[in-house]
């Protein structure tokens, strides 16, 4: 692979106006390779232009200190960067938005879901563009459902006798409830029912607002798979049956 890039830079003479360099600069890591393997010094005025692509897409993902993003997370960050620069409807809204992490989850058969965790403090901004953003991301990750979930941390119960109070929003139950609400967006939960099986296990039925049926009905199976994977609980999602 290194030889490929050596040949590329040799033929292009690292000219910013070269079609090959312009095409290469659209890839997340090629600009760095162009700088590393250039056969001649890169002009000072050219360096900022070539380096821009290296950093801009990575600005769309913020990981914990010393944690490197996975290859898949980099591809999701790149998708956000591309949408910000090519989609006029989302450009201004995505300017200050970024993600924390992203994973793929198996749903059924070959069907997969893309689960993206976003900063808790940005959750309202993400909800503002949820429908448009998810629609465009699902186009980029063809055949995969996209789910956006706010990053929340669960705190352990304080030790007996401790004066430290744990906020309810940081309890396991509260975090799982909030996660459930995030998963089904843009629909809202209008009811819940718990059914107990003969073997003692239980399953929860969650009823969604029919107003968002067109945007969510095709994802009901995905909702169940994602919640089972993240919370370890079985949930069935349905729409209430309305009487004629």
| CATH code, domain carrying 122 | 3.30.70.1350
In a domain, 124, yes or no: yes
Give the alpha-carbon dihedral of 199, 239, 140, 63, to 10 degrees: -60
Residue 147 has φ and ψ, to the nearest 5°, of -125, 130
Alpha carbon distance 244, 239 (integer Å): 15
Q: Which residue do the tokens 């003479």 mark? A: 13
In a domain, 119, yes or no: yes
In a domain, 202, yes or no: no
Residue 219 makes CB contacts below 8 A (sequence gap 6+) with 145, 147
In a domain, 236, yes or no: no
Range of the domain at 135: 53-151
Q: Which residue do the tokens 């995969």 mark? A: 144
Tens place of pLDDT per residue across the chain (244 aa): 444 444 444 444 444 344 444 444 444 444 444 444 445 554 555 445 445 554 567 888 998 888 888 999 999 999 999 999 999 999 999 999 999 999 999 998 889 999 999 999 999 999 999 999 999 999 999 889 999 999 999 888 877 777 777 778 888 999 999 999 999 999 999 999 998 888 888 889 999 999 999 889 999 999 999 999 999 999 999 998 776 5
CA distances, 113 to each of 66, 74, 141 (Å): 27, 16, 9
In a domain, 241, yes or no: no
Alpha carbon distance 210, 243 (integer Å): 13
In a domain, 111, yes or no: yes
CA-based nearest residue to 82, from 48, 116, 59, 62: 59
In a domain, 214, yes or no: no
In a domain, 128, yes or no: yes
**Number of domains, the chain:** 1
pTM attached to this predicted model: 0.74
Alpha carbon distance 194, 232 (integer Å): 15
């Amino acid at each position: 692979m290194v030889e490929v890039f050596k040949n590329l830079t040799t033929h292009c003479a690292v000219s910013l106006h070269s079609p090959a360099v312009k095409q290469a600069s659209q890839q997340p890591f090629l600009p760095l390779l162009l700088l590393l393997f250039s056969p001649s010094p890169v002009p000072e005025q050219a360096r900022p232009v070539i380096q821009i692509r290296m950093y801009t897409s990575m600005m769309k993902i913020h990981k914990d200190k010393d944690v490197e993003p996975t290859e898949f997370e980099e591809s999701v960050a790149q998708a956000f960067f591309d949408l910000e620069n090519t989609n006029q409807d989302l450009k201004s809204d995505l300017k200050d938005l970024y993600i924390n992490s992203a994973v793929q989850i198996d749903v059924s058969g070959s069907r997969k879901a893309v689960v993206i965790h976003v900063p808790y403090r940005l959750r309202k901004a993400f909800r503002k563009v949820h429908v448009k953003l998810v629609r465009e991301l699902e186009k980029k990750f063809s055949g995969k459902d996209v789910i956006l979930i706010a990053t929340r941390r669960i705190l352990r119960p304080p030790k007996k006798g401790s004066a430290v109070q744990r906020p309810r929003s940081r309890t396991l139950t509260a975090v799982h409830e909030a996660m459930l609400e995030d998963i089904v967006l843009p629909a809202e939960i209008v009811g819940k029912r718990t059914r107990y099986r003969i073997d003692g296990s239980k399953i929860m039925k969650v009823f969604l607002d029919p107003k968002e049926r067109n945007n969510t009905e095709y994802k009901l199976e995905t909702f169940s798979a994602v919640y089972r994977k993240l919370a370890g609980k079985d949930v069935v999602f349905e729409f209430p049956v309305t009487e004629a």
